[in-house]
Amino acid sequence: MNIVGTASYGTGAFRAIGSLSESAIFDFYGTGDLQPEKKLMFAILLDAVECFQDYAEQDRLFKDAKEWIFEDDHEWPYSFINICEAVDINPKYLRKGLLHWRQSATPEANTLWPAMVLNKDSDKRCA
């Protein structure tokens, strides 16, 4: 699974994720020795980022990934928030980075999307 594109936000790891291979990402996050369940969670997260970056807004894969990434579900074990917490990634930071990347990569996204703002005090989103 290779991620195409570059999520250039801040100085974190997702700033240059487009140039990293899956094994390099695993090495960066120290996931090489993770339990199989957490490796699966990390693979799910990477796939969602790839779908968010690679597909057009009209595509079902993009819509499903966007819905999953911005859903604030704390109950389902494989929700975006729970997976991020399990693999030690800040979900708010990743969401902001993906939004920033999307707006930079697709100028029409600035006019087609509602302004999504993350509340600085919580993981809740506002439209």
Place of tokens 């990347």: 101
pLDDT digits (tens, 9 = 90+) for 24-61: 555 655 555 668 888 899 999 999 999 998 998 889 99
Cα–Cα distance for residue pair 52/63, rounded to 1 Å: 8
pLDDT for position 1: 41
Q: Tell me the β-bridge partners of 99.
A: none
Q: What is the pTM of this model?
A: 0.63
pLDDT for position 76: 94
pLDDT for position 13: 39
Q: Which residue has the higher pLDDT, 118 or 12?
A: 118
- The tokens describing 4, both together, are 């195409």
Q: Which residue has the higher pLDDT, 74 or 6?
A: 74
Whether pLDDT at 80 is above 80: yes
Which parts of 3-123 are beta strand (E)? 117-118
List the chain domain ranges.
13-126
Cα–Cα distance for residue pair 22/30, rounded to 1 Å: 12
Q: Are 1 and 46 in contact (CB under 8 A)?
A: yes
pLDDT for position 41: 92
